[in-house]
Amino acid sequence: MRFSRLFGKTLRQAPAEAESISHQLLTRAGMIAQEAAGIYSYLPLGWRVLRKIENIIREELDKAGGQELLLPVLQPFELWQQSGRDVSFGESLFTLTDRKQRTLALGPTHEEVIADLVRRYIQSYRDLPLLLYQIQTKLRDEPRPRGGLLRVREFFMKDLYSLDVDEAGLDESYRKTSQAYRNIYARVGLPTLMIEADSGAIGGKESHEFMVLTEGGEDEVIYCSGCGYAANAEKAQSAKTDTAAVSSQGRESRKGEPMNMPCLEEVATPGAQTILEVAKHIGVPTSQTLKAVFYSADGEFIFVVIRGDLEVNETKLRNALKCSDLRLATEGEVIEAGLVPGFASPIGVQRIKVVADDSITSGSSFIVGANKPEYHFRNANYPRDFQVDFIADLALARPGDSCPHCRCELSSARGIEVGHIFKLGTFISERLGASFLDSDGRSRPVVMGSYGIGLGRLLAAIVEQSHDDKGIIWPLSVAPYQVYLCPLHMDKSAVLLAAEKVYQQLQEEDIEVLFDDRDDSPGVKFNDADLLGIPLRLTLSPRTLERQSVEAKWRTKKEAQLLPVENLAAEVKKLLDETVTFES
């Protein structure tokens, strides 16, 4: 490709609205152009990168036994009603009405369509297992697009669906696919971490995300450098150290052993409303108190009890309650429920759903509100003094907490989710009636798995994590072109002739080359070469030609080397081949 003919311009300054590094660099390099919030055009250079990523994904999935197909973007709304996900996707689902007044959804994902195909084409266990995938545009009306390509409304996505006869089959598909994912990330040069993820209210048992750790990421990853435990903060667990062990009062009084347990005792705590104030006023650590937090879950008032040193993880709470709408209750709602804000207590509450974090069992003789202004109780013990509807892990794991597996200290980092896989189970297949006959002639629902990679986000993640102050640094495997051919002194005809000849030769060797045939100063050309991030730059000038050579410089390196013009293409090919081997 000749630079002078290339559609798209490099910009010296990024548009003001581009905040993230990838958005800035991709825009400055003329690879993408924003059309509206969360809607982008891919210009020729960006599209080349996207297609390279696409092909790598395709190769690895095919290798894993996947079969590619293409599914409709326009989907019957009834499919979404049948699965029930018209509700769970809610406003994020784009819908439209056709001329016959039929409602259609613009596919945000394709499990329903797959299940619909399965129920029509799969009758027997002999037809399974299957790995089906598609790579195509998906649409979601995101509440807030952000970060350039990182969170958009229209996006190119690979979705793979595994179809199995049972859980064991699903496990095997899951294993195969996650291995394919590792291969994909390795080939696009992206270090990723496979972490435990929240599978949501609808998802099945197990779910993992592939994260690229980088400052600009929108997710928080909690990880343990001791044992390798890593999870999304939404899902992460931490060890809740048993405070009874360190509490002088409760040393002997473990749960379920009411003997030795001191009686409930009222204590005046004037003005002390927050946990910190209460703990300070009474002179105990915050872990010796119980905190009351109130929520409204799909309209129902919920009383959450958690140890005072911990915070509620709302994702866990939402999953535990199996609700879709969850928000903190207002002070008015708390009072209406007959509670005293700041001094609320689970002791003696009636007709209110009370749920507790399991931390209330790792400790005893807590300080807790008296549900009476300016008073708290001391020596509150579960279950002696109060009951709860259920106990679950509802606590937010925080950096500095202990790892649930090895007790080392947990750390946290920001990450970009570049892949999400999960075991769907039979949720959708049951609802849509996607079943098969097993070898005993019994009808059973197909066990599904779902595995996604957002290609645009992956592309942006590569830039986020591989760039310098000059521009993008593409790994050779996904670079829009492998070689940047950069002649200087275009007015000297010898240079021009030699450059044209090299350009021809490189193309004949099937080397992807961007030929900077513009009559610009060296500074402009070098800076554009760096901005575009083409891996290998070949510079031709009167100086190099004097020595019958061409200067070769890697984008990743500072030094350059001279290559003889004679047989240059073969030499370059050798360099590139060595690098591919090295990278993979």
Partner RNA sequence: CGGGGCGUAGCGCAGCGGGUAGCGCGCAGCGUUCGGGACGCUGAGGUCGGAGGUUCAAAUCCUCUCGCCCCGACCA
Q: Does 92 bind RNA (CB under 7 A)?
A: yes
Q: Can you tell me the distance from the alpha carbon of 257 to that of 263, in angstroms, rounded to the nearest whole number?
A: 13
Note whether 20 binds RNA by CB under 7 A.
Answer: yes
Considering only 147, 404, 475, 535, the residue that binds RNA (CB under 7 A) is 147
Q: Is 147 within 8 Å of 218 (Cβ atoms)?
A: yes
**247 touches RNA (CB under 7 A):** no
300 binds RNA (CB under 7 A): no
Establish if 404 lies at the interface with RNA (CB under 7 A): no
Q: Is there binding between residue 88 and RNA (CB under 7 A)?
A: yes
SS3 for 519-544 is CCCHHHHHHHHHHHCCCEEEEECHHH
Place of tokens 């500095």: 400
Map the footprint of RNA across residues 471-500, applying CB under 7 A.
488-491
φ, ψ at 471 (rounded to 5°): 155, -155
Rank residues 368 and 446 by Cβ distance to RNA and give the closer one. Answer: 446
Instruction: Give the 3-state secondary structure of 391-418.
Output: EECCECCCCCCECCCCCCEEEEEEEEEE
Question: Applying CB under 7 A, does 324 fall inside the site for RNA?
Answer: yes
- Check binding of 142 to RNA (CB under 7 A): yes
> Which amino acid belongs to residue 146?
R
User: How many CB atoms sit inside 10 A of residue 188's CB?
Assistant: 24
Can residue 42 be called a binding residue for RNA (CB under 7 A)? no
Does position 12 interact with RNA (CB under 7 A)? The reply is yes
257 binds RNA (CB under 7 A): no
Single out the residue of 97, 123, 274, 521 in contact with RNA (rule: CB under 7 A).
Answer: 521
- Taking the least distance from each CB to RNA, the nearer of 100 and 327 is 327
- Asked if 13 is part of the footprint of RNA (rule: CB under 7 A), the reply reads yes
Q: State phi, psi for 297 to the nearest 5 degrees.
A: -115, 110
DSSP string, 150-173: GB-SEEEEEEEEEEESSHHHHHHH
Longest dimension (CA), the chain: 99
**What is residue 341's three-state secondary structure?**
coil
User: If binding is defined by CB under 7 A, does position 331 make contact with RNA?
Assistant: no
Q: Figure out which of the listed residues 5, 7, 16, 283 binds RNA, where binding follows CB under 7 A.
A: 16
Least separation, in Å, of the C-beta of 501 and RNA? Answer: 17
Decide if residue 143 touches RNA (CB under 7 A): yes
The string of DSSP letters for 255-324 reads TT--TTPPPPEEEE-TT--SHHHHHHHHT--GGGBEEEEEEEETTEEEEEEEETT--B-HHHHHHHHT-S
Nearer to RNA by Cβ, of 20 and 435: the residue is 20
Our finding on whether 151 is near RNA (CB under 7 A) is yes
DSSP state, residue 55:
H
Q: Among residue numbers 178 through 217, which ones bind RNA (CB under 7 A)?
A: 199-203
Site residues, RNA (CB under 7 A): 9-17, 19-20, 28, 34, 36-38, 85, 88-89, 92, 109, 111, 140, 142-148, 151, 199-203, 218, 314, 324, 326-327, 420, 422, 450, 452, 470, 488-491, 519-524, 526-531, 539, 541, 543-544, 551, 553, 560
